[in-house]
C-alpha cells in the first residue's frame, strides 16, 4: 500500500480564492444586470511590452533555424540574462554579485517554495502575519510544523504580526528562529520597511545564526527613497540573506514565467559535524538536479526588459498601476477609511469600518458596490479586520469602483 506524506493532511484547504470566486459567481448569477468589478486578483492586466514581445519573437525564430537553435541551456540560466540582472538590479545600487550567485528560474513562487528543502527539518521558521501562503504551506508539507491551532496558527511556526498597531512593522522574534521569511514591499499589506527597520532583521540574523529569505517580487513598485530595493543594500546582508525576484509583476511575466534568486557565496551554514557548508553550492546542487532551466526565448524576452526602450515601457505600465493605487488610496481615505500600502505597491490594505470582520466587509462591498476584494483573514490571523484591493485593473474600472464605494456610508 502506498503511504501518503502525512504532512499534506496538515494543510488548510486553500479555500480563500475558491470562496471569493464562489461568492462572486453566485452574486453575478443572481444579479446578471450588475457590472461586477474584480479587484481581488493579484495578477497583472496589461500585456507584455513591445520590446519584450519583439525579443521573444526573434528568439522563437532562432529556434526554427538549425544554425541558431538552442537545446538545453544552463540550469542556472544564461549568462546574458544574469549579466543584465546584476548590472541593472544590483550594480545600480552599488552592489556587486558574481554570475554564479544568480539563479534564473521560472518563478519566485517555486524558488520561495523550494528553498526550504536544503535546510534541516528541525529549523524553526518565522513568517510575518498576514503572509503570502507559499512560505507557510511549503514548510508544512516538508514537516516543519505541527497541527494548525484554533487561532489559525500552526504549531512550531513563529508568527510576527503586522497590524495597524505596529504600523505593519514586524517585531523581531522574541525566541530564537532559524529561517525568517520577509516580503517587502509586502503582499498582502502593500507596506514596506525602511532601511533601518530591515537592518534590524539583518542584525538579528547575524547574532542568532539565522537566515533571511527575502522576497522582493514587488521591488519595481518602490517609489520612496528610504525603502531598500534589495536587502543587499543593508551592510552585511550578503552573509545572511537570500533574495527572490520576479519578472511577473515587474514586466507582466505572470503567464510567461521568469524569475531569479540570489544566493551569495558568503552564506555559510553548519552541518551536524560542525563543518561549514556553502548555501550557494547547496542550491546549485538542488537546481541542477531538479530543474532544467528557463526556455531560451523567455530568457531573451526577460533580457529585453533591461534595454532602454524596455525600461521605458515597463515603467509606463508600473506607473499606470501606481496611479490606480493612488486613486484607491485617496478615494477611500476621503470617506474616512483607514488604508495602507499602495505607495510602493499595487496592493491597498483596507481596515474594515466599524470593526467588521473581513468576510462581512467583502460581502458588503460585493452586494452594495459590486466590487470583489480579498478578505484579509485569508492571509493569516492578523489579516482579520482587513481587506485587500489591487491596482491591477483599468483606470476606468478603478475610478468607477471608487465612485461606487464613495456613495456608501459606513
Binding annotation for substrate: 15, 42, 109, 132, 187, 292, 388
Q: Which residue has the cell 462591498?
A: 365
Q: Output the smallest distance, CB 328 to ligand PLP, in A.
A: 18
Smaller CB distance to ligand PLP: residue 40 or 107? Answer: 107
Smaller CB distance to ligand PLP: residue 248 or 299? Answer: 248
Q: Which residue has the cell 529569505?
A: 213
Cβ 192 vs Cβ 186: under 8 Å: yes
Binding residue for ligand PLP (CB under 6 A) from 137, 215, 303, 384? Answer: 215
Interface map 328-367 toward ligand PLP (x if CB under 6 A): ----------------------------------------
- Residue 106 grid coordinates: 521560472
Binding residue for ligand PLP (CB under 6 A) from 56, 90, 132, 221? Answer: 132
Residue 109 contacts by C-beta under 8 Å, 6 or more apart in sequence? 134
Cβ 169 vs Cβ 178: under 8 Å: no
d(CA 341, CA 330) in angstroms, rounded, equals: 11
Q: Which region among 92-100, 101-109, 223-231, 367-375 touches ligand PLP (by CB under 6 A)?
A: 101-109
Cβ 84 vs Cβ 99: under 8 Å: no
108 binds ligand PLP (CB under 6 A): yes
Going by C-alpha positions, the residue among 105, 94, 88 that lies closest to residue 315 is 88
> By Cβ distance, which residue is nearest to ligand PLP?
107
Q: Which region among 87-95, 199-207, 246-254, 319-327 touches ligand PLP (by CB under 6 A)?
A: 246-254
107 binds ligand PLP (CB under 6 A): yes
Known binding residues for pyridoxal 5'-phosphate are 72, 108-109, 132, 187, 218, 246-248, 257, 292
d(CA 373, CA 390) in angstroms, rounded, equals: 8
Q: Output the smallest distance, CB 409 to ligand PLP, in A.
A: 33
d(CA 115, CA 110) in angstroms, rounded, equals: 8
- Residue 208 CB-density burial (10 A; 0-12 exposed, 13-18 middle, 19+ buried): middle
d(CA 337, CA 351) in angstroms, rounded, equals: 7
Q: Output the smallest distance, CB 68 to ligand PLP, in A.
A: 28
| 159 sits in which H/E element | strand 157-161
What pairs with residue 215 in β-bridges?
183, 244
Q: Which region among 87-95, 108-116, 226-234, 349-357 touches ligand PLP (by CB under 6 A)?
A: 108-116
123 binds ligand PLP (CB under 6 A): no
Q: Which residues of 234-258 are buried (b: 16+ CB within 10 A; e: fewer)?
A: beebbebbbbbbbbbbbbbbbebbb
259 binds ligand PLP (CB under 6 A): yes
| Max Cα–Cα distance, the chain, nearest Å | 68
Interface map 38-57 toward ligand PLP (x if CB under 6 A): ----x---------------
Known binding residues are 15, 42, 72, 108-109, 132, 187, 218, 246-248, 257, 292, 388
Q: How many positions of this chain bind ligand PLP (CB under 6 A)?
A: 14
Could you count the other beta carbons within 10 Å of the beta carbon of residue 277? 13
231 binds ligand PLP (CB under 6 A): no
Residues that bind ligand PLP (CB under 6 A): 42, 107-109, 112, 132, 183, 187, 215, 217, 246, 248, 254, 259
Amino acid at each position: 500500500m502506498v503511504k501518503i506524506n502525512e504532512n499534506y493532511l496538515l494543510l488548510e484547504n486553500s479555500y480563500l480564492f475558491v470562496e471569493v470566486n464562489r461568492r462572486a459567481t453566485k452574486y453575478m448569477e443572481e444579479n446578471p444586470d450588475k457590472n461586477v468589478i474584480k479587484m481581488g486578483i493579484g495578477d497583472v492586466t496589461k500585456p507584455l511590452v513591445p520590446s519584450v514581445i519583439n525579443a521573444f519573437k526573434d528568439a522563437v525564430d532562432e529556434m526554427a533555424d538549425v544554425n541558431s537553435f538552442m537545446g538545453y541551456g544552463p540550469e542556472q540560466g544564461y549568462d546574458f540574462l544574469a549579466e543584465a540582472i546584476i548590472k541593472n538590479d544590483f550594480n545600480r545600487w552599488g552592489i556587486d554579485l558574481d554570475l554564479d550567485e544568480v539563479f534564473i528560474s521560472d518563478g519566485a513562487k517555486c524558488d520561495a517554495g523550494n528553498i526550504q528543502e536544503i535546510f534541516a527539518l528541525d529549523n524553526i521558521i518565522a513568517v510575518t502575519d498576514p503572509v503570502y501562503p507559499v512560505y507557510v504551506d511549503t514548510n508544512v508539507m516538508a514537516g516543519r510544523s505541527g497541527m494548525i491551532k484554533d487561532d489559525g496558527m500552526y504549531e512550531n511556526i513563529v508568527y510576527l504580526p503586522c497590524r495597524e498597531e505596529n504600523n505593519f512593522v514586524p517585531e523581531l522574534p522574541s525566541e530564537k528562529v532559524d529561517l525568517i521569511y520577509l516580503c517587502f514591499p509586502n503582499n498582502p499589506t502593500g507596506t514596506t520597511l525602511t532601511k533601518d527597520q530591515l537592518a534590524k532583521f539583518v542584525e538579528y540574523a547575524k547574532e542568532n545564526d539565522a537566515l533571511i529569505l527575502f522576497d522582493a517580487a514587488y521591488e519595481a513598485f518602490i517609489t520612496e527613497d528610504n525603502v531598500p530595493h534589495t536587502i543587499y543594500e543593508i551592510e552585511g546582508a550578503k552573509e545572511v540573506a537570500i533574495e527572490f525576484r520576479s519578472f511577473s509583476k515587474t514586466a507582466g511575466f505572470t503567464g510567461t514565467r521568469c524569475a531569479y534568486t540570489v544566493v551569495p557565496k558568503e552564506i555559510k551554514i553548519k552541518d551536524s559535524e560542525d563543518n561549514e557548508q556553502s548555501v550557494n553550492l547547496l542550491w546549485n546542487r538542488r537546481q541542477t538536479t531538479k530543474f532544467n532551466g528557463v526556455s531560451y526565448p523567455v530568457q531573451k524576452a526577460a533580457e529585453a526588459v533591461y534595454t532602454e526602450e524596455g525600461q521605458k515601457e515597463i515603467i509606463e505600465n508600473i506607473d499606470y498601476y501606481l496611479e490606480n493605487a493612488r486613486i484607491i488610496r485617496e478615494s477611500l481615505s476621503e470617506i474616512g477609511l483607514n488604508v495602507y500600502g499602495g505607495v510602493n505597491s499595487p496592493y491597498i490594505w483596507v481596515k474594515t469600518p466599524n470593526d467588521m470582520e473581513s468576510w462581512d466587509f467583502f460581502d458588503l462591498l460585493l452586494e452594495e458596490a459590486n466590487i470583489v476584494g480579498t478578505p484579509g483573514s485569508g492571509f493569516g490571523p492578523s489579516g482579520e479586520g482587513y481587506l485587500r484591493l489591487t491596482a491591477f485593473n483599468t483606470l476606468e474600472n478603478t475610478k468607477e469602483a471608487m465612485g461606487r464605494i464613495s456613495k456608501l456610508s459606513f
